[in-house]
């Protein structure tokens, strides 16, 4: 099978999908379901789940996520009698699928040089990009698909045939719609600075961590600090995590998945953590250099390791970044009080949106000035 042929590309894409989604995303999201409870417990000075074990191996309770999955599988599958059966089934799918689809545009490593896998510092003649789909409209694809996640909450609320679930669904819909706008506007500044929508190209421009000489090659957070804060806030609001979790509201108010049990609820639950992982990955791509760790480290690794090992090492370092961001988002949960519905909407429309528009205007002015 030769390098550029259709079969080769199809096989490469399949391997990337299996590796990235089955091999990285799903296990990380599953472990996050346990890690959230453990990290919350540590922040609250208690122990958290640490007992599940396989034989003699406790592993600090990591196997809780497997126990959870088994528990969900064996629960009774209950559909409320007057619920709309098809949409009741479809809502969890709409909640989980967008997070998985969006993972297609995330670059998770430097290009693998096909012919020169064992060479150090190769001239890449036949690169295989570690990115499932290189779309020219890259990040617009992310916004388009993540705007479909709204249907998960909406349909769940409506199809349950439950007054309170529907009100929760309406809350969730209005919140997600509001923060989508801010999310898009926050990233417009990055588009202006990098001049491209394609995540691979954006990452390729962030080669230094911070350098005054090549300021443009610094990590994105030094070029767009306001954009990062706005995007972080909007992404947390989109995933309906605390402090924006009034739609779910756990102990206080009924949310949109009150009629869901067993694996259907498991899909909502897992979908939320998948969105955490994916939004962390997007933030890292835009603002924290993607798989780059600065000029020094990159060059050191590149010149001392064969290409294959280099790519694996960079992928490993990338997963460290993603993991750190996920941990950060989990930590926010117990650091901030929850927003009330009206406070949330006011924050989205009256505070964050004007700031993001001002960010775009300021960025445009700076870019124009810098081009002279």
Partner 1 sequence: MSAGGATTVDMVVFGVLATLTTFFALFTITRRNPVTAVMSLVATFFCLAGIYASLSAHFLAVIQVLVYAGAIMVLFIFVIMILNREEVAPFSLRPLRVLGVLAGVYLLVKIIDVVTVGLPEAVPGAAPDGFGTVAAIGDVLFRDFLYPFESISVLLLVAIVGGVVVSRSHQKEVAAVEAHDYRHQIEELAHHDYPGEPPAPAAPEGYH
Nearer to partner 1, 176 or 230 (CB): 176
Q: Which stretch binds partner 1 (CB under 8 A): 171-179, 201-209, 228-236, 296-304?
A: 171-179
| Binding residues for partner 1 restricted to 88-117, rule: CB under 8 A | 90
Q: 């090549």: which residue's tokens?
A: 214
**For partner 1, which is the closer residue by CB, 183 or 203?**
183
C-alpha distances in angstroms, 90 versus 2, 60, 82, 97, 301?
41, 36, 16, 11, 46
Phi/psi at 18 (5° precision): -60, -45
Exposure class string for 205-244: b at 16+ Cβ within 10 A, else e? bbbbbeeeeeeebbbbbbbbebbbbbbbbbbbbbbbbbbb
Residue 242-271 contact track with partner 1, rule CB under 8 A, x = bound: ------------------------------
Q: Least distance from C-beta 144 to partner 1, angstroms?
A: 4
- Name the residue nearer to partner 1 (CB basis): 76 or 342: 342
Binding to partner 1 (CB under 8 A) within 125-144 occurs at 135-137, 140-141, 143-144
How far is Cα 299 from Cα 98, in angstroms, rounded to an integer?
36
Beta strands 112-113; 127-128: pairing state: antiparallel
Please give the C-alpha separations between residue 125 and each of 3, 128, 138, in angstroms, as whole numbers. Answer: 11, 10, 24
Which residue in the set 58, 75, 85, 163 belongs to the binding site for partner 1 (CB under 8 A)?
A: 163
**Toward partner 1, which CB reaches closer, 64 or 240?**
240
Q: With CB under 8 A as the contact rule, which of the stretches 81-89, 254-262, 306-314, 345-353 interacts with partner 1?
A: 81-89
Tokens of 51: 């007992």
161 touches partner 1 (CB under 8 A): yes
155 lines the binding site for partner 1 (CB under 8 A) = yes
| 281 belongs to the binding site for partner 1 (CB under 8 A) | no
**Residues contacting 228, CB < 8 A, separation 6+:** 220, 221, 283, 286, 287
Q: How many residues bind partner 1 (CB under 8 A)?
A: 32
Percent helix, percent strand, percent coil in the chain, to nearest 5: 65, 0, 35
Nearer to partner 1, 158 or 293 (CB): 158
Q: How far is CA 273 from the centre of its chain?
A: 8
Among 117, 124, 133, 148, binds partner 1 (CB under 8 A): 148
Q: Which of 53, 147, 295, 341 binds partner 1 (CB under 8 A)?
A: 147
Q: Which residues sit at the interface with partner 1, rule CB under 8 A? A: 82, 84, 86-87, 90, 135-137, 140-141, 143-145, 147-148, 150-151, 154-155, 157-159, 161, 163, 166, 169-170, 173-174, 177, 180, 197
């Amino acid at each position: 099978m030769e390098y550029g042929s259709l079969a080769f590309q199809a096989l490469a894409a399949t391997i990337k999908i299996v590796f990235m989604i089955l091999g990285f995303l799903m296990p990380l999201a599953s472990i996050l379901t346990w890690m959230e409870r453990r990290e919350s417990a540590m922040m609250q000075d208690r122990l958290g789940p640490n007992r599940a074990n396989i034989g003699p191996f406790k592993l600090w309770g990591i196997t809780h996520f497997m126990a959870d999955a088994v528990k969900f599988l064996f629960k009774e599958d209950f559909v409320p009698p007057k619920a709309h059966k098809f949409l009741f089934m479809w809502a969890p799918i709409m909640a989980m699928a967008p997070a998985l689809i969006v993972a297609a545009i995330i670059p998770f490593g430097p290009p693998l040089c096909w012919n020169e896998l064992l060479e150090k510092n190769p001239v890449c003649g036949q690169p295989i990009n570690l990115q499932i789909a290189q779309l020219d409209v890259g990040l617009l694809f992310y916004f388009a698909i993540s705007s479909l996640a709204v249907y998960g909450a909406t349909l769940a609320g409506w199809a349950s045939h439950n007054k309170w679930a529907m009100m929760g669904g309406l809350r969730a819909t209005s919140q997600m719609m509001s923060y989508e706008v801010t999310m898009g506007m926050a990233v417009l500044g990055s588009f202006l600075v990098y001049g491209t929508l394609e995540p691979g190209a954006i990452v390729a421009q962030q080669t230094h961590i911070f350098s005054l000489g090549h300021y443009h090659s610094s990590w994105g957070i030094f070029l767009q600090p306001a954009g990062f804060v706005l995007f972080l806030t909007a992404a947390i609001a989109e995933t309906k995590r605390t402090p924006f979790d009034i739609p779910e509201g756990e102990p206080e108010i009924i949310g949109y998945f009150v009629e869901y049990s067993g694996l259907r609820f498991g899909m909502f639950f897992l979908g939320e953590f998948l969105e955490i992982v994916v939004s962390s990955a997007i933030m890292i791509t835009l603002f924290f250099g993607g798989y780059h760790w600065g000029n020094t480290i990159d060059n050191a690794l590149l010149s001392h390791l064969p290409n294959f090992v280099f790519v694996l090492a960079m992928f490993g370092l990338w997963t460290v970044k993603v993991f750190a961001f996920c941990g950060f988002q989990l930590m926010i949960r117990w650091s901030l009080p929850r927003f009330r519905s009206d406070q949330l909407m006011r924050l989205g429309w009256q505070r964050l949106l004007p700031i993001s528009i001002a960010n775009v205007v300021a960025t445009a002015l700076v870019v124009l000035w810098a081009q002279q």
